[in-house]
Structure 1
Amino acid sequence: MATIPRLRDDLRGLAPYAVGKDMAPVRLNNNENPHGPADGMTNRLMRAVRESLATINRYPGGSPERLAAALAEYVAPWCRSENIWPGNGSNEALLYLLLAFGGPQQKAMLFAPTYAMHEQLCRITATPVAVVARDDDFALRAEAAAAAMEEHEPTLVFLCSPNNPTGTPLPPDVIATVLRYEPSLLIIDEAYFEYSQLPSAVSLVRDHPNVVVARTMSKAFAFAGARVGYAVGHAQVCAELQKISPPYRMSTITEALAMAALEMADLIPAQVAMALSERERVRTELESLGYRVADSDANFLLFGTVPDDHAEYEYYRDRGVLIRNVGPRGWLRTAIGEPAENDSFLACAAERRRTSRSVRFMQEGPACTV
């Protein structure tokens, strides 16, 4: 009798990336743009889908070249289509970068807590990885980056700008420090760059062929369900990625949607500004309640500290508000939603604070208003 195929030994015990399955009226657990496509975009997106259906019986192009050109125009005046590798979300771009340039002969390094998929993708591609702890305030400083580079001598380095799940800004001098050690590949994950007050790292690609910037349209463009991401890199790097990419990797509809959204990119800053204003309001309220709040350059906040982050998560969930217990211990993350959603979250936070003072974080007391 046939047996189940044996998983690679190095993958035994690997848990899937945790995607929240709980549901609630207020969903602040995935750092999504709560507003949907910006005003004025919906009709254009629907038209793009209808037009793409005319050729839906045909395979898409071997590579999404038109989308690459449109993304290049969005990225920077100097950028060209050969500097862009589009994919189904930025995770796919990260995966192919590791498939092409990682593996058992390389050594990756990342600074935790950070985006969990970086380490996950290293394990999937059999790339050894060193995990270096950030400071207590979750910052990453140039001297710490230098010490880690000297100790571990990685050939591949991940940096998040801003960092997830902490929201911490990435100072330019940290990037400059890492580059001085000349890793063969430096991946800068800019999933939230539209919310950041710091300049993008894409300009480094012109002078540093070992730098690749990974981005997504899931956040500021409100395209999480469309699954569009891309890598910005030297033309030869993108050409190498193309070699290992399957044909027809992006659907005709996905490419049409992304092209239409990029035509209206000038509508995005208004939504970003609203998110940043709400972020500071939520921060102020949390701090007034006595919570610690990490410095954030993104559309979410990491707050704490609490004795039991899982119990805290359940308290909010049971009252109709989903947040995220992604670590570190004692901290939780909330995305910035619409004002009413943020009000519901803050009502829970205030009620939890009052209840915890009298019952020591037992899940008791009246439910908050959602």
Structure 2
Amino acid sequence: MKQEWLRKTIRSFTPYKVPEIKEHIVINANESPYDIFNFPDVKKDFLTRLAKLPSYHYPDPFANTLRKALGRYVSAEYNEILAGNGGDEMIQLILNTFIDEGDTILVHVPTFDVYEIDGQVLGARIVKVPDSEDFKREGETFLEAIRKWQPKVTFICNPNNPTGDIWPVSLIEKMIQASPGIVVVDEAYMEFSGQESMISRLHSHDNLIVIRTLSKAFGLAGFRLGYCVANADIINAVSLTKPSYNLNSFTQLMGVVALEHSEEILKHNVPPTIAVRDYLIERLRTIKGVEVFPSAANFILVRTYDGPRYVKTLSEADICVRSYGNRADLANCLRITATTEYVANKILKVFQKEASHEDC
């Protein structure tokens, strides 16, 4: 194929790649270990409604029943919510709505790669504010970057993926107030943080968009259900770039059912995940050669003396972990999803084994 056929912004483009997984214990994608269909009432409710779902009809283009259920969950009006295929689609729709070629997108790094990737496709200028060496995001530095660069769109991942760092609501409010453009706060992991959502500040800021998902705490990664919350006029604008039937009927139904059982699901899923996260942090910090960073999410970032060696040894133990190749800012770092105590102990065994090799 001729390169000149391609859009100029993707001729040297590196897409977000999902690696092939051969291991049986998968802790590389921050997925929940809990199956939604292991809740008997949820399974019964879903299958009963599924039997009445007309497969020959197109889905509701705006998923209004789901939007109302989401509104009840996050204390927002249904017209302040847009649902779609995961948080990834929300990011894409937001940028398609607000970014022209040459516009500035501001991000802190390291963070979720998709913000930059989707911005590159549109020909945006990506300005990156690096973390400190211990992966703490410097709030005042980021505020200064907002004032200097006057970004069209600013992304704040909170808690941050992959570091787990979290900024308080009061600091993010200062950033929203300082920004001349849209501020997107990605709260994919908020249920694990114990912190108040920025959704509570929605009506105080007309340039705020909050992204949430049912992939993590609800364990619905396979259904691909993300949503954004903003003032109604912002939702109407973002909806202009939405495909007519972007969210299938099956996922819409599962979302409604899961939200109606949200108290049971979250009570079951979230506390044990937090407990395993904190257990891993405590135990990993006792192992020589392993630097462990605080986390408010369902994963932990660690830095080792030899990241590729740890990846290899974990794979030999049938464990797939997230690593970062040759990235300088994440050299020798691994991101570990907190799942069950059984898996945590298998991880610790590998780390203890590698630490003993370092002593040799």
TM-score tier, shorter chain, comes to over 0.9
Measure how far apart 1:105 and its partner are.
4.7
39-48 vs 97-106, greater mean Cα deviation:
39-48
Contact 1:109/1:154, CA 8 A, preserved across alignment: yes
2:51 maps to which residue? Answer: 50
What SS does the aligned partner of 2:57 have?
coil
Measure how far apart 1:115 and its partner are.
0.6
**1:1-370 residue pairs with structure 2 within 5 A?**
6-37=5-36, 39-40=39-40, 41-52=42-53, 55-76=54-75, 79-267=76-264, 268-290=266-288, 291-307=290-306, 309-326=307-324, 328-358=330-360
Contact 2:103/2:125, CA 8 A, preserved across alignment: yes
After TM superposition, the score normalised by the length of structure 2 is 0.93
1:312 partner amino acid: Y
Measure how far apart 1:255 and its partner are.
0.6
Q: Distance in 2 between matches of 1:61 and 1:176?
A: 35
Measure how far apart 1:182 and its partner are.
2.7
Q: Distance in 2 between matches of 1:208 and 1:5?
A: 43
Q: Distance in 1 between matches of 2:64 and 2:357?
A: 56
Contact 1:85/1:231, CA 8 A, preserved across alignment: yes
What SS does the aligned partner of 1:334 have?
strand
1:361 maps to which residue? Answer: none
2:343 partner amino acid: E
Q: Distance in 1 between matches of 2:100 and 2:125?
A: 8
Count of residue pairs the alignment pairs up: 352
1:66 partner amino acid: T
Q: Distance in 1 between matches of 2:136 and 2:23?
A: 32
Contact 2:187/2:210, CA 8 A, preserved across alignment: yes
Measure how far apart 1:3 and its partner are.
5.7
Contact 1:86/1:231, CA 8 A, preserved across alignment: yes
Contact 1:103/1:128, CA 8 A, preserved across alignment: no
Measure how far apart 1:89 and its partner are.
0.4
Measure how far apart 1:152 and its partner are.
2.3
Measure how far apart 1:147 and its partner are.
2.1
Measure how far apart 1:276 and its partner are.
0.5
What SS does the aligned partner of 1:255 have?
helix
1:81 partner amino acid: Y
Q: Distance in 2 between matches of 1:150 and 1:182?
A: 7
1:364 maps to which residue? Answer: none
Contact 1:160/1:170, CA 8 A, preserved across alignment: no
Q: Distance in 2 between matches of 1:182 and 1:168?
A: 21
What SS does the aligned partner of 2:83 have?
strand
Contact 2:61/2:247, CA 8 A, preserved across alignment: no
2:39 partner amino acid: D
Contact 1:35/1:338, CA 8 A, preserved across alignment: no
37-46 vs 233-242, greater mean Cα deviation:
37-46
After TM superposition, the score normalised by the length of structure 1 is 0.91
Measure how far apart 1:137 and its partner are.
1.9
1:315 partner amino acid: T
Q: Distance in 2 between matches of 1:125 and 1:48?
A: 41
Measure how far apart 1:230 and its partner are.
0.2
Contact 2:302/2:334, CA 8 A, preserved across alignment: yes
321-330 vs 89-98, greater mean Cα deviation:
321-330
1:363 maps to which residue? Answer: none
Measure how far apart 1:8 and its partner are.
1.3
Contact 1:100/1:241, CA 8 A, preserved across alignment: yes
1:104 partner amino acid: E
Measure how far apart 1:151 and its partner are.
3.0
Contact 1:48/1:257, CA 8 A, preserved across alignment: no
Q: Distance in 1 between matches of 2:112 and 2:141?
A: 19
1:21 partner amino acid: E
Q: Distance in 1 between matches of 2:3 and 2:195?
A: 50
Q: Distance in 1 between matches of 2:7 and 2:308?
A: 32
1:206-235 CA-partner distances (Å, limit 9, x unpaired):
111100000110000100000000000010
1:48 partner amino acid: R
Structure 2 residues not aligned, in runs of 5+: none
Q: Distance in 2 between matches of 1:65 and 1:352?
A: 52
Structure 1 residues not aligned, in runs of 5+: 359-370
1:273-313 CA-partner distances (Å, limit 9, x unpaired):
00011111111110011321111000000011323x23321
